Structures are given as C-alpha cells and as structure tokens.
Amino acid sequence: MAESLALVLGWKHSHEPGIRTATIAGGEEITAWPEALGGPTLPDAADVATWRTEYDAYIASGGREDDAADAELDGMRLLKAVALWAADHFGITPATARAEIRAKYRSLG
C-alpha cells in the first residue's frame, strides 16, 4: 500500500499534536515532530518504513482506517448521555433548546 505518510504517522502515534508533513518532489517528508514523541529530532527512514509495514499489516488484518471516526462517535454518544442527564436534573428539554441544538440532538439517535 502507498498510504500517505500523514495517515500512517497519525495512526501509529494516535494523531499526536505537532506531527507535520509536507509533500515534496518524489514523495512526502516529516517537517516537525512533537517533543512528546522525542522531538524535535525527526524519526529516521527505517522507523518510518517499519511504521508503514505495521500499518499495512493492520489494514490487511481487517483494521479500519476510520477507527478515529468510531472514537468520535463514542464521544458524541457520551455527550448525548451527559445532555440527557442534564435534562433530567435541570429540566432542560428539546423544546426549550434552540432549533439548531434540537436538530443536532435528534440526529444523535
């Protein structure tokens, strides 16, 4: 697979803030690396090759590229649970919320 470097790095390092890549002639390169991951020293080519191999194996084994979207959905479910708790405890109802909030509330299913 020839996945984007940014995608592989994000997958490997849980989308750690501060990872930066750039497209250059002939490919991509890492331009910034966060201190939390050992920066500012950039990973070497061997590390990147290993991470690409791990990513490819993950996808080949049935892993999904949209696991981050699943985590976001879990967060939205938690937010809905908190909103329902608040509604129960503070008397807030969809009828008292603004129209945009009601639409979003209903879309959470």
Distance CA 65, CA 69 (A): 9
Q: Please tell me which residue, 30 or 106, carries the higher pLDDT value.
A: 30
**pLDDT (mean) for 94-103:** 64
pLDDT exceeds 60 at position 4: yes
pLDDT exceeds 90 at position 53: yes
pLDDT exceeds 70 at position 32: yes
Report which of 41, 50, 2 is spatially closest to residue 18, judged by C-alpha positions. Answer: 41
